[in-house]
């Protein structure tokens, strides 16, 4: 028997391929994209984006939310941008992915949605 308790959160992810490597290394542009995406979904952030440069030139940029997070992960040499959102079930994370889709002018190569919590 499946648990009928409503989910507290949702987890959405989308992978984009064919993204310009220069954009995937641009901390300011990606931070702006992350903030715009979170705003479109009505997400409440608790601090500015956290950024880390990874050993092979990629970036991870994370926005911590009142419940959950939004993160971008880049692999510039492969042209890959991965978007990860764990958000309150009362919000629509797909609106954030729509912003990324429009700004990149690319369709996600892969996208998932699941209930969490």
Tens-level pLDDT at each residue, the chain (117 residues) = 566 788 999 999 999 999 999 999 999 999 999 999 999 999 999 999 999 999 889 999 999 999 999 999 999 999 999 999 999 999 999 999 999 999 999 999 999 999 998
Q: Which domains does the chain show, CATH number per domain?
A: 9-116 (3.60.90.10)
User: Is 71 within 8 Å of 61 (Cβ atoms)?
Assistant: yes
The reported pLDDT for the residue numbered 36 is 96
Residue 1: per-residue pLDDT: 53
- Read off the pTM: 0.92
Contacts of 17 (CB under 8 A, 6+ apart): 78, 79, 80, 106, 109
Question: Count of alpha carbons within 13 Å of 78, Cβ hemisphere only?
Answer: 12
């Amino acid at each position: 028997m499946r648990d009928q308790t409503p989910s507290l959160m949702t987890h959405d992810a989308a992978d984009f391929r064919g993204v310009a490597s220069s954009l995937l290394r641009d901390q300011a542009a990606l931070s702006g994209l992350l903030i715009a995406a979170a705003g479109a979904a009505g997400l409440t952030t608790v601090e500015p984006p956290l950024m880390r440069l990874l050993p092979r030139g990629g970036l991870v940029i994370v926005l911590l939310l009142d419940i959950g997070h939004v993160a971008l992960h880049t692999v510039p040499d492969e042209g890959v941008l991965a978007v990860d959102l764990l958000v309150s079930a009362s919000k629509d994370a797909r609106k954030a992915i729509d912003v990324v889709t429009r700004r990149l002018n690319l369709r996600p190569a892969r996208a998932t949605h699941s209930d969490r919590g």
